[in-house]
Structure 1
Amino acid sequence: LLFASAEILGCSGLASLRVTNLTEETIKVGVPGPYSGPAAEKGEHLKYGIQLAAEEINGKGGFLGKKVELVFADTEAKPEVGVSAYEKMVTRDKVQFIVGEVNSDVALATLDVVARYRIPTLYAIPASDELGKKVKSNPQKYAMVFMVDIPVSVMQSGSFLWLDEATKAGKLKVKEKTYALIYEDSSWGRIVGETWKNNMEKIGWKNVLTEVTPFKESEYMPILTRVKKLNPELVKIEITSLPAGVAITKQIAEMGIKSYIFGGYYQKTIEFPRMAGSFAEGSFNIREPYAPDWDKKIQKRFPKADPIASMFSYDSLYILGEAISKAQSFEPEKVTKALLETDHRGVFMRTVFDPETHFARFGKEYKLFGVAMFKNGKLELIWPPDYAQLKF
């Protein structure tokens, strides 16, 4: 049995025809990711998650009785390499669906590839808001593209929900609701800094100090002297450099600053707990919630797997499977229609796609980044309550 779908692209008059042979015993799913180069570690965790999902799904009979065959393609986290890798997956390897990817720049570069060949695609980790804007700008062209994560612009939002709840409940011992903001002079630092300024004002917190530091700064004593003098009840720090993050963490302790500390990206690196030691104890950060015992489950099969980095691809393959089951078909248009109706409760909360951007919806009833606290060298989730690993 053969079926085909065609799309006229733009005003060029060129048509793209994709033919899928449904007599094959397997369903080929392309899994792009950075499997070599500086981002290879992230690619490995992506691979762990989807491999576990495929093993479980195939153990139950596969998709509509057909076993899932994973086809891995190395993008090296480079857009130009990604475009070539995606082309090869479709034209040479004949994949029928794509599930994977880590890098947002690669995802943006490959949007037109998956649109041209009409391949239902679930980007597992890419979260640039630009992806949603592209889908919204041309919904017909990018109809088959979906993002399983929430967009970057709302990743910090859980922080403010928690701060507001914890303050009102008396869990955070504050009187004046004052905070200091320290962030690095980078695009990421500025985005997070402005997000905190805007949202903290909305929930009634007063900014008493804002400091923008050079990237990879190591000497924070002058800034921390001002922080200690002003004595804000909370200090938010957004730094991506691990050495800089360790430096400011230790210098805060040396200065005897007693404010609540809400850390940044530097705290989420594998090496941070070892390098910072006890100096990080009691500080907060955002972290993705995951289902109870997920870490034990994935690490039983793959001992080196990171529970967070592996859960996106795991959920993504199950989301695709549910859509195929609902559609009772492998036809791209029917599967896409079913994907739009997704309501999946997986490892990372609940996935429902926004009909305009095709990003996973944000919110307490859908997906959000929770809040975690360092305890005994581990960043343990304390909110939302249903996913809490530690009572606060």
Structure 2
Amino acid sequence: MLVIEYKIKAKLHQYKAIDEAIRTAQFVRNKCLRYWMDAPKDAKINRFALNNYSTKLREEFSFVKQLNSMAVQASAERGWAAISRFYENCKNHQPGKKGFPRFQKDNRSVEYKTSGWSLHKTKRRISITDKKGIGELKLLGKWDIHTYPVKSIKRVRLVRRADGYYCQFVLDTEVKEQLESTGNLIGLDVGLEYFYTDSNGHTEENPRFLRKAEQAIKYAQRRIYKKEKGKNGRRKARKRFAKKHLRVTRQRNEHAKRLARCVIKSNDLVAYEDLSVRNMVKNHCLAKSISDAGWRQFRQWLEYFASKFERVTVTVNPQYTSQKCSGCGTIVKKSLSTRTHNCKCGCQLNRDENAAINILNLALQARGGHPRRNAVGVGVTTLVGETLLEQTLTLSTEYPAL
């Protein structure tokens, strides 16, 4: 599964038509959620029931009928994705909140399936053929979609961001590449002082993109409240503020992708901790720094490139990886401020390097002491094997800097 993204160049009335299509998609999703909530207990509400209900919405509301029928169906599937995720969390006894479906108020995309759009013969323009009045859109970007047949395009998505509108093509194609074996094994310990420290002692600097841009972001936010509500000045100030946050998000994602690609291509086996970032950010003293580091994005890209290049990724339990001595296995208690590991056996290492060695040892134990070629690894999930709808919601695919 691959997502190719182009920026859209269009006229003002076309942008307004895209916004109307996005609002309609949000309306259909929310109506499907309300239909599920209000249904009797003995009623069986599933994906097909929501699809049938979306057809009734087309008959009841004229603005819904103007949207392509498959786009309406895709919006209903988004509602069912939220419901099925809630059911799955309850079934698996997920700790904490189960993710009860909520109504959406900030939807930024509308999705078409195999109809409602047509590519120009040059494949540099796309026409949206429903009755919303979007029309022909010019595609700007470096991706060459000519190398893929039109039949492999399973979904087309129009996305609104702070700096403009984008068109995404979801392609049903294999994203795999065979690499020669390097014979290298590595363990990674992520942190805040350094982005990660590997079992060879190498450290990667933590870029801290949000911290560096924080002063400019706060200034842009203050400028919003100095403008009068409802005026163009306030709208432009909000747009400038959103662009600064979008830039930080893209920097963080590109940094994680670049590092993950290099790590995977250089090693046959990569081991890392199975961290629960959701629980870690509950520490209000470190929440901003943990979020700024982007550990979750780094892990997602590691798993993606492991599947693409047919490498092995292994997750291990992070318990005692920092306290345990990598030389003799003795537990050496140390506080978070202690950055050096000293053991009675004579082992003296940086705290993070010691943890990275322990992570690698645990991964080798889980795999029987030697690496075996496996695109998925032990105890991890890859995004390539997910359904089209899950790809829609996560967008964990390889694309250039936006």
Look at both structures and tell me which one has the larger radius of gyration over its CA atoms: 2
Do they superpose with TM above 0.5? no
TM-score range normalised by the length of the shorter chain: under 0.3
TM-score by length of 1: 0.23
